[in-house]
Amino acid sequence: MIPNVETVVDDLILAKPTDETFMRLALREAERAALEDEVPIGAVLVHAGRVIGRGHNQRETLRDPTAHAEMIVLTQGAAALDAWRLIDTTLYVTLEPCPMCAGALVAARVTRLVFGAMDPKAGACGTLFDLARDPRLNHRIEVVSGVLANESTALLQEFFRTKRGRESRDE
């Protein structure tokens, strides 16, 4: 069997993993979302240096309000580890998680969260709320923000600029 180019590239990238490396994979997922006319948010879940889940927003495609990139990746990660506790995992996501996703990360016991852009309207990991580090909850997550934030923000801005342009032409 001949490996596809993406697998070979991912194997090369993962030979020297860094937060930026994995965030670039999440950005690739966000680009896929944009191609599907979904809000361009991508996520990657990593355990022991290996990607065990990757996904992007699919709310429009699946007609599911919970089909955020993070939720999709958590489900994949649980299947890969055959456990709901995602201990010793790091979630990389291009936009700060919303309250639903932050709550799911806490419930899943994700160890570490790395995100790109802050979300001033719905961010629940430091901007509006901080569910990931709330001492009242039974689990806290190490949070690193701003990794490839400019790239993440630019992708979102371009998507919405294009969307607004289409909507004004449709009127």
Residues noted as catalytic: 70
Half-sphere exposure of 122 (CA within 13 A, CB side): 9
**Amino acid at position 135, single letter:** P
Burial 16-49 (b: 16+ CB within 10 A, else e): eeeeebbbbbbbbbbebbbeeebbbbbbbbbbee
Q: CA 118: distance to chain centroid?
A: 12
State the Cα–Cα distance between residues 141 and 111, nearest whole angstrom: 5
The residue behind tokens 């948010």 is 41
